[in-house]
Amino acid sequence: MSIRRIALTSAAVTLAFTTLAQARPDTRAMTCQQTQALIQSHGSAVLTTGPNTYALYVRQYSNACDWSLIPAVGFVPTRDGQCLVHRCREPLYTPPG
C-alpha cells in the first residue's frame, strides 16, 4: 500500500469519527415529546443541553445507571420549554435516628 493511500484512508477514518462525535442530539432543537421518545426508544441517550453541556439521560425505570446510582428527575431545555427527564444520580440517604 502506498503512503498516499494510507494517509487518505487515515484522514477519512478521522473525519468519520469526528462527524459521529458531533452528531449528539440537541434537546434545544427538539420538542419535549421528541426528547422523551428518544430516551424511551433507546433506554438511555447522551444529549446536548447547551452550548458546552451534555449528559446521559435514562428511562425512569432503567438499569442504565451504574450500580451505585439511581434514575432521578431532572429538566432539560427543549424547543417548547423545560422538559422532565431522568439522569443517573447518587441516592439521597439520611441515616436513621
One-letter-per-residue 3-state SS of the chain:
CCHHHHHHHHHHHHHHHHHHHCCCCEHHHCCHHHHHHHHHHHCEEEEEEECCEEEEEECCCCCCCCCCCEEEEEEEEECCEEEEEEEEECCCCCCCC
Domain coordinates in residue numbering, the chain = 27-89
**Residues 57-86: tens digit of each pLDDT:** 999 988 899 988 999 999 999 999 999 999
Q: What is the pTM of this model?
A: 0.70
**Per-residue model confidence (pLDDT) at position 31:** 97
